[in-house]
Chains A and B, each alone.
Chain A
Amino acid sequence: MSNIHTKTAVDSIVRSPFQAIAAVFVLGLTFFVGTLFSILVYSSNQVLGHFETRPQVIAFLKEDASVEDISKLQSKLLEDARIKEVQFVSKEEALSIYKEATSDNPLLAELVSPSIFPASLEFSLSELSFAEEVIGDIRGESLVEQVGFTANLGGESSLEDVVTRLKNITRYVRIGGGVLAGVLAGASFLVLIVIIGMRIATRKGEIEILDLIGATSGFIRSPIMLEAIIYSVVGVLVGWVLALILVLYSTPSVVAYFGEIPVLPKKTQDFLALFGIILAIEMVLGVILALLGSSLAVARARKKR
């Protein structure tokens, strides 16, 4: 049974190839933008996550801070819901970090001793927006000498700027990409309705014959819906493959630009898994789009009859 519907749908596509190309082109463009938007959302989340989870705040401790006091402060910080991953860095550890950072110039490392580096407590925040508040609280602690904030984008001078800029970038990516993908999805939907409507008009005689010989609505609708699904599936594949090629092509530049920030998965299998998930979601959305578009076109055609 399905063979006859598939044949009808394929015949219909072959008979009017330019309509089919137009439908696939618009759907392909939509899912191309959709795939890139999904990657952008993923990457912006990764950037945000990177800054939110790395040690962002360093509380440099006073020279006379005892091990017991440091331990108490560490426990207190650990209990704070705004704070996570508290780590104690001793003077010796600070020196070794310094040495590693200046490994290309050993002379600089020879000039310093552990005594000039203060011990510190490094921690990250559950959300960047808590930064200012938490730093204010930490500054009030008696054994804290100074507080430093490591996140820095584009040379902003205040903490608020850093947080605001990161949040804004993420928000603009989501809103802008979402609106663009939404507009394109709407355009695809309309193009599908128009093309399926034209198909129904050209198959009017055939539909009348099927109706007279006792075909059910489902039987008449099936090839029309199948045709829309074929457009959508091909459109999804075209858009997804083009986006994959573009991302693969630009990955070296992107990775070099963002450095240690993992904007894209580093492992091939994680990278493929990410694109696989996007493809699966787009396939489902494509089929829903096709079913809704063709149902609406069929409903309109029946109303006209």
Chain B
Amino acid sequence: MLQIENVTKTFGSIKALDGVSFKVEKGEFVFITGPSGAGKSTLINLILGKGKPTSGKIILDGKNVAEILPKDMPAHRQKIGVIFQDFKVLSERTVRENVQLGLAVLDVPQSEWIPRVNKVLKLVGLRERAGLFPAQLSGGELQRVSLARALVVNPKIILADEPTGNLDWDTADKMMELLEAINREGKTIIMATHHQKIVDKLKKRVIKLKGGQMEKVVKKDKK
């Protein structure tokens, strides 16, 4: 599904990533961990096509991300569901409208919007909050809006960049239960986090980064 081949990324004299290589199979749940500045977000951004590796290849679904033309980049990103630490929801739109945005971007017919949005809102437990604006929601709820927007387009892979970074433990735990449930349904998830408690609890494969280099790959699948 995803192949990272000897990827290096430099910003001036700083090496954000240095020779990182790993593979993620379809349906896998992989953690990318490491301290701040380890290169987790850089890696997520490169997979998203936000910037190109200085060297190496990132192959998603058989395509080298670095070689995707700007005009084809939207199609690449539409295959990915993305969740951010700062939620990145539109403050002027309701929960429902934020989730619908994903469908609008994909040019899904409007007749399909209501059932699909209702389904994911129910999944993330926000069915009753569909008409509220982000300012009326808690941090955990905002992150679930972000997750619902990522899920509604039925992506091939979900990239989560520190999705629990702004949440307390209980909320983060519930969020992880959701992600795990989604993974059980066959979705591939790559999650960058430095929340060790979560990593330890879920017992999934862990790719540890430090100073842009891969420290080790720990296989801890509980299944």
Contacts and interface: CB of A to CB of B under 8 A. Distances in A.
A214 B88 contact: no
A175 interface: no
A206 interface: yes
Contacts of A210: 101, 105
Nearest to B90: A206
B63 to A, nearest CB: 14
Contact of A214 (B78, B89, B90): B78
Interface stretch (B20-28, B52-60, B69-77, B208-216): B69-77
B82 interface: yes
B9 interface: no
A213 interface: yes
Nearest to B73: A214
Nearest to A208: B88
Contact of A213 (B82, B107, B110): B82
A216 B74 contact: yes
Most B CB within 10 A of own CB, among A3, A206, A213, A215: A213
A4 interface: yes
Interface residues of B, number: 24
Nearest to A216: B74
A10 B82 CA distance: 28
A107 interface: no
Given A214-B78, A215-B74, A216-B74, A209 B105 contact: no
Given A206-B90, A212-B82, A213-B149, A4 B76 contact: no
B39 interface: no
A209 B92 contact: no
A213 B101 contact: yes
B90 A213 contact: no
Interface residues of A, number: 18
A164 to B, nearest CB: 60
B48 A212 contact: yes
A1 interface: yes
A43 to B, nearest CB: 49
Nearest to A212: B82
A1 B74 contact: no
B106 A214 contact: yes
B50 interface: yes
B193 interface: no
A209 B104 contact: no
Nearest to B70: A217
Contacts of B188: none
B79 to A, nearest CB: 8
Most A CB within 10 A of own CB, among B50, B104, B107: B104
Contact of B105 (A3, A205, A206, A213): A213
Contacts of A217: 74
Contacts of A216: 74, 105
B164 interface: no
Interface in A206-246: 206, 208-217, 219
A205 B98 CA distance: 14
A25 to B, nearest CB: 25
Nearest to B50: A212
B110 A15 contact: no
A270 interface: no
A215 B106 CA distance: 8
A217 B70 CA distance: 10
B102 interface: yes
B100 interface: yes
Interface string A9-21: 0010001000000
A211 B48 CA distance: 10
B88 A1 contact: no
A216 B71 CA distance: 8
Given A4-B100, A206-B90, A209-B90, A214 B107 contact: no
Interface string B106-117: 110010000000
B149 A214 contact: no
A11 B94 CA distance: 13
Given A15-B92, A213-B149, A216-B74, 18 more contacts: A3-B110, A4-B100, A206-B92, A209-B90, A210-B105, A212-B48, A212-B50, A213-B78, A213-B101, A213-B102, A214-B74, A214-B75, A214-B76, A214-B77, A214-B78, A214-B105, A215-B74, A219-B104
Interface of B: 48, 50, 73-80, 82, 88-90, 92, 100-102, 104-107, 110, 149
26 contacts: A1-B104, A1-B107, A1-B110, A4-B100, A4-B104, A15-B92, A206-B92, A208-B88, A210-B101, A211-B77, A212-B48, A212-B88, A213-B77, A213-B78, A213-B82, A213-B101, A213-B105, A213-B149, A214-B74, A214-B75, A214-B79, A214-B80, A214-B105, A215-B74, A217-B74, A219-B104
Interface of A: 1, 3-4, 11, 15, 205-206, 208-217, 219
